[in-house]
Amino acid sequence: MSDPLRILALNWRGLSHPQAGGSEINIFQQARRWVKQGHTVTIICADPGREYAPVQEEVVDGITVRCMGNRVTVYLLALLFYWRHRRSFDRIVDVANGIPFFTPLLAAAPGVLLVHHVHGQQWFTEFPYPIAALGWFLERRVVPVVYRHWPVIAVSPTTRDALLELGFSASQVSIVYNGVDLPAQAPAVQRDGGHRIAYVGRIKRYKRLERLVAAVADLRQTIPDVHLDLAGDGDARLEIQEQVEKLHLQDHVSIHGYVDEVKKAEILSLATVFATPSLQEGWGLSVIEANAFGCPAVAFDVPGLCVAIRDGETGLLARDEAAFKAALETILSDPSTRSRLSEGARAWATKFDWEFCALETLRVLAKWDQSELDYAESQPLVAGE
């Protein structure tokens, strides 16, 4: 696939959205590299409003970014846009954030489905029952059928395994890991000599940040200067703010909201440990970003994070809340453990590269140029059939 391609990527949010996370970083990091390789890239995403995106259409790093609709209507508007301009694109990258865009129903061009993680029961954590039930049904019953002709990219082995359970075939799914931007100069661990915990990501209910705040409340009894930096935004932010006030943790927790890359680097540079109590992740890009700053991570032993964190080498995994708190306390208070995990974390982060990630996605898209590939006839709907 040497000729330049016209690539259309569909993603729920754009980088300018206040709740942007790993999915947005992934597609924009890859798109920048596709443009440098001579391809033309258009990304469609929901419109976050003029406060965050001054215009609805702009060119960013050579990428044409089109914002349209809200978190719900963007799906319909993106399909209408594609239908009107379907002859203008050679390939489609359909990114699933719980629900993909169902572009195979209209596609005049071949494409790939990019899945960060399968939501499963997470639907019922984040949404009212009717919406959760619909999302669960679409993800479990409809998506595998609609995309049975397309190659699929999973960002981790746990996401791949979850896709196989949904009915995708093993030969249909490729693993392409996220990359990471390494800091220009590896910072020294514990620059300020404090005991700082960092979390960078969306503030959603499934992230279970109330567990992290509760852990800080306990930790301050043995580590009086412990401080948590929460960077990010989301619809659970008010709940976390109320919990901080209820526990009288205003001097121990800073909720920064959405931060730019400079502020994020500052937070990670000063952090002793990165912590995420999330219910599940597709991979854990924020963990690897923290690792790049020599910051080890603590998380629960859940899908995605159990792969992103090498337990005992780059951080610690916990099976329950008591173990989660104990892991944080160990790294915060034990310099030798912290130093060992920090070195392992920094070495682990160097293994992930956006250049390789972007090339691998193009390689998967290149499967469409193989005349012998015919998912419609060769791939079973249920793994193992």
Instruction: For 187-242, give the DSSP string.
Output: PPTTTT-SEEEEEES---GGGTHHHHHHHHHHHTTT-TTEEEEEE---TTHHHHHH
pLDDT above 80: residue 155: yes
**DSSP bridge pairs for 316:** 298
User: Strand runs (DSSP E) across 250-296, as ranges?
Assistant: 253-257, 273-276
pLDDT per residue over 302-323, tens digit each?
999 999 999 999 999 999 999 9
**What pLDDT score does 376 carry?**
37
Query: Average pLDDT, whole number, for the chain?
Result: 91
pLDDT per residue over 216-231, tens digit each?
999 999 999 999 999 9
pLDDT per residue over 30-39, tens digit each?
999 999 999 9
pLDDT above 90: residue 127: no
pLDDT above 90: residue 11: yes
Q: How far apart are CA 91 and CA 89, in angstroms?
A: 6
9, 41 contact by CB (below 8 A): yes
Confidence class of residue 201 from pLDDT cuts 50, 70 and 90?
Answer: very high
SS3 category, 87: helix
- Percent of the chain whose pLDDT exceeds 70: 92
Amino acid at 19: Q
67, 40 contact by CB (below 8 A): no
* Interior angle at CA 313, CA 311 and CA 316, nearest 5: 40
Angle between helices 335-349 and 285-292 (to 10 degrees): 110
pLDDT above 80: residue 375: no
SS3 category, 92: strand
pLDDT above 80: residue 139: yes
123 contact partners, CB below 8 Å, separation of at least 6: 98, 131, 132, 133, 135, 136, 139
- Please provide the CATH number assigned to the domain covering 6-179+354-378: 3.40.50.2000
- Whether 6-179+354-378 shares its CATH topology with 195-349 is answered yes
**What pLDDT score does 21 carry?**
84
- Phi, psi (degrees; rounded to nearest 5) at 316: -135, 140
CATH 2.40.40.20 fits 195-349, yes or no: no
pLDDT above 60: residue 374: no
Length of the chain: 385
Which whole number is the average pLDDT over 294-301? 97
**pTM of this structure:** 0.81
**How is the chain split into domains, by residue range?**
6-179+354-378, 195-349
SS3 category, 86: helix
6, 92 contact by CB (below 8 A): no
pLDDT above 50: residue 385: no
**What pLDDT score does 257 carry?**
93
**Residue 356 CA to its chain's centroid (Å):** 17
> Encoding tokens for residue 255?
């909720």
CA distances 353 to 33, 88, 289, 348, 356, Å, are 11, 30, 11, 11, 5
